[in-house]
Structure 1
Amino acid sequence: MQTYLVTAAAALAAAAVALLLVEVVHRVTRRLGRRSLLMTELTDHSHRAFQVAATVLAVQLAVRFTTLYAVGSPWRQVLLHALVLALIAAAAWLVASLLVVAEDTALARFRVDVPNNRHARRVRTQVVLLRRLTIAVIVVLALGVMLMTFPAVRGIGAGVLTSAGVVGVVAALAAQSLLGNVFAGLQLAFSDAVRLDDVVVVEGEWGRIEELTLSYVVVQIWDDRRLILPTSYFTSTPFQNWTRTEAAVLGTAEFDLDWAIPVQAMREELRRLCEGTELWDGRVCVLQVTDATGGLVKVRALVSAADAGSLWDLRCLVREHLVAWVRDQRPTALPRLRAEVGDTAGTPPWQAVQPRRPVRRQPDTEVPDDARVFGGSDDGEARSEAFVGREEHAEARR
């Protein structure tokens, strides 16, 4: 009983000394690292793991050296084995916390709350997936090392290695869907096909990539629903990514109107609307007649915004404003079906209504910038080069 009390007292003393030393190191590190993000992260995230690992190591050493007289005793072997298992688990926890600190420190250099954050979102996506993968690897390795401390497990190791090929084939066939999603997650992380906070259209739903793991992707739909898809979906199914290169996007608003619509006046009204709202980013404001069949003309307004949310609001604003403008200012351009009866030699009655203000008509050879998608403005010139080619674009300008 006296020897047991000595061992217990030594273990408690060792634990107290270890806790005291860890607390001193913690306070010194916090004071010296006030201006260092790495030191701050270490004191916040790795303190508890370091405390547990140091305490278990101190207790294990105290028990080992105070029980040398009972080397062959069963209780000593069981106690030391339990302490070794605890030390392996604590060391794995400490290593995982150090990796998390390193990843958080690296992520702090890349801000995602700025307008041009494509590179930052790409790095964040890769680091988050690597964090999940490294933690999983650390847990598996720790469990393997803990199992190898049992003599029975080491004895069957040779048999396991000889049958590893068969077991691997069976496991691959049984978990091919899971492994496929894991490899798809790694492919998404390093292929830059999709990143966190990307705006995508999947399954007919418009939303934002909220979470990306090795097995599934969570898409936050615009109405706060969540669409959960396997990562293999994004490597095997086409989807739209609105923010892969930049957040600025284009959008359209289409109108079916009568042939009496004054296109140039409507174009000028669209320009005034865009210049008077903060939703427009100043790049593209184009109005064109894209079709003229079935007794109606299809007028398309093409506008641009800095992000997908602003674009949606801008498209709705364009529809509301131009619908009201046509109804109030150009009622003869409302969609209609005509049936003319009588003498058609004179002026048709439907042309009797005159616009409230004269429309300034441009020469047929002069095409305004807001009537061209490929050309006119700097953004239109760049779009023309991208879709037509530099040589063809230069020849067209000549």
Structure 2
Amino acid sequence: MIDRLRSGDITIDWDQFALTSLTVLIAVAVSYLAYRLVFAIVGRLVRLSEPGTDNLLISRIRNPIKWSFIAIGITVAAQNDPYLSQWWEPFARFLRPALLGWIAYNIVRGLTAALEMRLVDSDPVATRSKRTRIAVLSRIAVFAIVIITVGLMLFAIPSVRSIGTTMLASAGLAALAIGAAAQPALKSLIAGLQVALTEPMRIGDLVKVDGEAGRVEEIQMSFVTVRTWDERVLVVPTSRFLDDSFENWSRLDESLTGTVMLHLDPITKVPPIRAEFERFVQTHELFDGRNKALLVTETWPESIELRLSMSAHTIGELFQLRCDVREHMMGWLRENMEEALIRHRLEVPHGHPKAGEPG
């Protein structure tokens, strides 16, 4: 006997509902077994290859592939069951692009992680360059996947599809409106792509922007984060690095020449100071042997300016070397050439009537 429940125009055939439910369960079970079989074979092949990156990629796509197998199984069952097709197809219009987008997203993230794992280049500049390109291009790919997936899901709605058809009739106005609205997003997308291709800075580079120096920590499509020495994070628009000038202290390598400025009394004898500076720098463990020099760069009636320049292999080592040189030279001057240190003097001419008066 067929039990029917009528509610307005809706009729539920409980026998057909039970049969359809059984069909769905069988389809899900068969799809899951097929998924386990396929991944068992894939897992065996992965174990025969070099471990690491392949396992990472497979683990990323396992879940979306599983649900895709189940969706395919139900779709096949729906082709032979009109009752199931009536309920499944409207939902599947949203599910299919969502699953495809999920798979594509996980493939991109898996490939990104796998490529980053293989970055074992001994050259730090080449490593930073590759990391930057991988990060920026993967974010652009993810952005495109999200946009396409959402668009396909929205076009599954009949009303949205009709709106799109209407917009095509006035394509000129639509293009202008979309272009004006999407200008900031397109500018950020193009800026991120330019950064990846031209590499004005890379992840890990030491840059100076807005008077602040720090390491590039992350390059997004719309902004770049720079971490300063005191652990503050500067958030700078990506387009800013293309539109305005900035300093990149590690563009080719981290070998730099730094300076220490000394302001001394005009009567100072420079040769002894130069000899002590060269002796100290030459024996310092952080000095790389490229540049060392002491020059008198400026003179004033009250003082002279000495520029002590030195070089080191990395920016961090150069900073420490400059601090050590500054501390050593000031201590050496106090002990050996105290007259070189600037003092404010008031000279009274000999025989001045007030020179001998008691204070």
Q: TM-score when scaled to structure 1?
A: 0.77
Equivalent position of 1:98 in the other structure: 107
Of 298, 304, 309, 2:311 maps to: 304
Aligned partners of 2:114, 2:101: CA distance in 1, in Å?
Answer: 20
Aligned partners of 1:254, 1:84: CA distance in 2, in Å?
Answer: 70
CA contact (8 A) 2:24 2:74 kept: yes
Equivalent position of 1:47 in the other structure: 62
Aligned partners of 2:300, 2:195: CA distance in 1, in Å?
Answer: 45
Q: 1:265 Cα deviation (Å)?
A: 2.5
| 1:27-176 mapped onto 2 (5 Å cutoff) | 27-34=40-47, 35-65=50-80, 67-68=81-82, 70=83, 76-111=85-120, 114=122, 116-176=123-183
- Cα distance change of structure 1 residues 177 and 189 upon mapping to structure 2, 3 Å threshold: same
CA contact (8 A) 2:219 2:225 kept: yes
Say how many residue pairs are matched.
335
Is the counterpart of residue 212 in structure 1 residue 205 in structure 2? no
Which residues of structure 1 form unaligned runs of 5+?
344-398
CA contact (8 A) 2:265 2:303 kept: yes
Q: 1:45 Cα deviation (Å)?
A: 1.1
Superposed CA offset, 1:9-53 (max 9, x none): 222222223223323433443343242444212222111121121
Of 194, 198, 201, 1:194 maps to: 201
The amino acid across from 1:48 in the alignment is N
Q: 1:341 Cα deviation (Å)?
A: 5.0
CA contact (8 A) 2:53 2:117 kept: no
- Cα distance change of structure 1 residues 32 and 210 upon mapping to structure 2, 3 Å threshold: same
| 1:259-270 mapped onto 2 (5 Å cutoff) | 259-270=266-277
Aligned partners of 1:23, 1:276: CA distance in 2, in Å?
Answer: 66
The amino acid across from 1:20 in the alignment is L
Superposed CA offset, 1:280-326 (max 9, x none): 22322221111222242211111112222222222111111100010
Q: 1:209 Cα deviation (Å)?
A: 0.8
Which residues of structure 2 form unaligned runs of 5+?
1-13, 352-359
In structure 2, the residue corresponding to 1:18 is in which secondary structure?
Answer: helix
Superposed CA offset, 1:53-109 (max 9, x none): 1122112222332x14x4xxxx73332221342122112111221222233333333
- Alpha-carbon RMSD: 2.4
Superposed CA offset, 1:342-377 (max 9, x none): 69xxxxxxxxxxxxxxxxxxxxxxxxxxxxxxxxxx
Q: TM-score when scaled to structure 2?
A: 0.85
Superposed CA offset, 1:264-290 (max 9, x none): 332232233223433322322221111
Equivalent position of 1:352 in the other structure: none
Aligned partners of 2:23, 2:270: CA distance in 1, in Å?
Answer: 93
CA contact (8 A) 2:56 2:110 kept: yes
CA contact (8 A) 2:266 2:301 kept: no
Aligned identity (percent) is 31
Aligned partners of 1:84, 1:173: CA distance in 2, in Å?
Answer: 31
Aligned partners of 1:125, 1:160: CA distance in 2, in Å?
Answer: 39
In structure 1, the residue corresponding to 2:310 is in which secondary structure?
Answer: strand
CA contact (8 A) 1:200 1:242 kept: yes
Equivalent position of 1:236 in the other structure: 243
Aligned partners of 1:59, 1:253: CA distance in 2, in Å?
Answer: 74
- Cα distance change of structure 1 residues 76 and 24 upon mapping to structure 2, 3 Å threshold: closer
Q: 1:3 Cα deviation (Å)?
A: 2.4
The amino acid across from 2:335 in the alignment is D
